[in-house]
Every structure is written in structure tokens, then in C-alpha cells.
Amino acid sequence: MPFNIVRGDITKMNTDAIVNAANTTLLGGGGVDGAIHRAAGPELLKECMTLGGCKMGQAKVTKGYDLSCKYIIHTVGPIWNGGGFGEEQILRSCYKNSLELAEQLGCRSVAFPLISAGVYGYPIQQAIEVALSAINEYLGDSEMQVTLMMFGGRIVAVNDTEFESIKQYISENLVGQFATRRRRHAADDAPAGQEQAAPPPPRGGETLVQAVTRLTSELELDDKELCRRANISGSLLGKIRSDGRFRLTRSEVIGLASAFDLDCEGAGQLLQLAGLPPFSMSDRADVILRYLFENDCCDILTINRALFSFDAL
């Protein structure tokens, strides 16, 4: 997948580049900046001293020194001041300029911290929303693998109302041990062969490639838009089209279902066409996906944020 959300320390990443949430002096600071300088060693500061600082929203590059990455891209996020001072636009340009720089440097992978969401005070869910949408917008044109790192305690990436609705749906629908037993008893009463509803058959015996082709043209999506909406790379799309036996992962199929705006049944059909098991009510991630597809909130950004919030990625 071109982008993903991961919990962890950015200094441990093996990506070609990592991004630093720096300050305008580029001479080090606290938070992720301090952690990067500590892990990269004193040579980093020496190179930073030659750069003449960096403006808010801009990005500059140094080597990675003792880190496993080749490059460190230093960008300066906005200081949150209530939201009425162009903070969002500046934050977007941090992601855009860093991604452009990474691309110019020939990076195939890059990891970001949640810029401005620490000392600079940007509200965390809004910071995640801006980060994901800026990354997703950019990736329509790029094949880079982008990781957004979440650090520290438990982070909820959806708003409170969404979180509560999903939580309630999980508690009512996730089949745990007790519920499984209950279901088994209910199934005992059901007429033979009716314990499980059969998944709906694929339309007219279509193959996955045929379904992807049909849906792409029905929605008039060009390849770039399809990749962006599905969070897949152009090369993966090429493989799907050229090799009928190519096996997709579950998250790639979910990405396609999201791109095609399918409902829950349609997403299940696409999984079936890809030779993957249908949504299971005993799997937390699947229950969350069902909720999202049933409730029409299945764009790829919402999917990723919801799965991450419930530790289901």
C-alpha cells in the first residue's frame, strides 16, 4: 500500500528518508527533533548549521548519519494558534514539500512523524486528517511508500462520535467466544444448510480483472484517481490487469472496494473474486470494515483511521 499508519519510533525506521518536525533554526530541539539528533549523532547538527534555517512549511535535507535512513528531511510545521492563521495550509505544504523533496532524491520510501502535533499544539485528530489527506493527494502521482508514524500513548484517529458508533457496533456484532456459542445454538435450530448465508455470487461469473475494468469504466476513473482512491500503486494496478492469476492482499482488495464506492455486499463479492474469505464477524478488523461499508464511510482515509484507532491495522 502506498501509505500506511504505524505506531512506533521514527528513528528506528528503515525507510530511505525520515522526516523531522524541526524548528526554523534547524539546530535541534525537543520531541521528535531531539530524538532524531540523538540517534543520528553530532555530525547531523554540523550539517544543519550550514543550511541557514528553514521557513515554516518548507523542507530541507541532510544525510542520515547514524540512522538507518539515507536522508533526513527537515520541515517546520505551523504553531497552532486556533486554526484561523493558515495553520492547515502550512501543515499541508510541510507534507507536500517533504514528499516532493523525497521524490527528487529518488526515495522509494519515507516516514513522517505527526508534524506539529506535539509541542506546536496542533489538535491531534485534525493533524492526522491533514497528514493523511495531504499524503493521499500527493500519492496519485507517485509510487513512493509513505508511512505516518504515531508515537506515545493510545491515539484515536477518528472523532469521538465516529469512535463511539464503531465501538457500539463492535460490541453488538463481534462474535467472541460466548457469542459464538450462542450462535452455534441458534444454528442448531435452523433448518439444515441455513446456518450461514451464502455470499452473493459474482456478477455473471466475472473475474476480478473484469470486475475491476467494468467498475473503473462505470465510475469513469482514470488510473491515477483509481490508485489514489484505492491506496494502491500504479505498478500493482498494472499487475492486476496483466496477470489474471495475480494474488491481491486483503487490504488491497478493500482499497479497491473503497475506490469503487461499493456497499458491504459488493465489497464481500470483490473479496470472493480475489479468492479471499468473506468478512468474518469474529474478526475485529472485518467487523469495523463491515460497519464502514454499511454506513457509507468507506473512503480509504476513514478506513485507515478507523482501523488504526481500534488497533486493527
Taking the complex as a whole, the smallest distance from the CB of residue 93 to ligand ADP amounts, in Å, to 14
- Options 66-74, 109-117, 169-177, 260-268: segment touching ligand ADP (CB under 6 A): 109-117
147 is an interface residue for ligand ADP by CB under 6 A: no
- How many helices (H) and strands (E) in the chain? 13, 6
- Does 116 bind ligand ADP (CB under 6 A)? Our answer is yes
By CB under 6 A, name the one of 1, 11, 252, 293 that touches ligand ADP: 11
Output 64 or 77, the one with its CB closest to ligand ADP: 77
Q: Which residues partner with 7 through β-bridges?
A: 150
Min CB(129)–ligand ADP separation in Å: 14
Residues in contact with ligand ADP, counted by CB under 6 A, come to a total of: 20
Q: Exactly one of 10, 128, 285, 306 binds ligand ADP (CB under 6 A); which one? A: 10
Nearest to 240, CA basis, from 228, 225, 223: 223
Which among 115, 65, 75, 114 is positioned nearest to 98, based on CA atoms?
75
Q: Where are the alpha helices (DSSP H) in 29-176?
A: 31-40, 42-49, 87-104, 124-139, 160-173
Asked if 34 and 68 touch (Cβ cutoff 8 Å), the reply is: no
Write the interaction track for ligand ADP spanning residues 255-294; mark x where CB under 6 A is met and - where it is not: ----------------------------------------
In this chain, which of 5, 19, 32, 99 binds ligand ADP, going by CB under 6 A? Answer: 32
Residue 120 contacts ligand ADP per CB under 6 A: yes
User: Strand (E) positions, 137-258?
Assistant: 145-150
Out of 151, 163, 169, 246, the residue judged to bind ligand ADP by CB under 6 A: 151
Mode of pairing for the β-strands spanning 71-76 and 59-63: antiparallel
CB 116 within 8 A of CB 32: no
Helix (H, G, I), strand (E, B) or coil at 83: coil
- Binding of ligand ADP by 17 (CB under 6 A): no
| 223 is a catalytic site residue | no
Q: How far apart are CA 87 and CA 56, in angstroms?
A: 10
Return residues touching ligand ADP (CB under 6 A). Answer: 9-11, 21, 31-33, 35, 77, 113-120, 149, 151-152
Write out the catalytic residue numbers: 33
